[in-house]
Amino acid sequence: MEFLRSEHSDENMLFWQACKELKAEQRKAAIAEKTKQIYLDYISILSPKEVSIDATVRDTINSNMAMPTADIFDEAQAQIYALMHRDSYPRFLNSAIYQSLLQSLNAGNASQS
């Protein structure tokens, strides 16, 4: 998260996590409320934390908002995962944050030997 924040793309992980939490919800009223909040926070073009999804997926979500289900954001979540996998994650592996983490782990392992 620290790395994503530094890259101004933490909304991707926050959206992905919110979708995961939504899928665990069983109560219809809670699903409707969480769906609305996720939409306002990450899907709405007016959101400051808007995630980058294609227009077709956005249109499908817009069409399904009247009767939301826990899987309404599945396609968007998959697109964001793919984006992070091919874009953010490789940059993270080359970042100073990751290199520092590796050094800390290696130093900890060496001292335990």
Q: Which two tokens stand for residue 33?
A: 């409320």
pTM for the model stands at: 0.85
Centroid of chain to Cα 4:
10
Q: Which two tokens stand for residue 67?
A: 């009767």
Quickly tell me which residue has 């069409």 as its tokens.
63
What pLDDT does residue 108 have?
73
Weakest-pLDDT range from 3-7, 31-35, 46-50: 3-7
Q: Is the dihedral of CA 107, 109, 111, 113 positive or negative?
A: negative
Q: Which two tokens stand for residue 64?
A: 């399904």
The string of pLDDT tens digits covering residues 53-109 is 999 999 999 999 999 999 999 999 999 999 999 999 999 999 999 999 999 988 877
What pLDDT does residue 32 have?
96
Q: Which two tokens stand for residue 73?
A: 């954001």
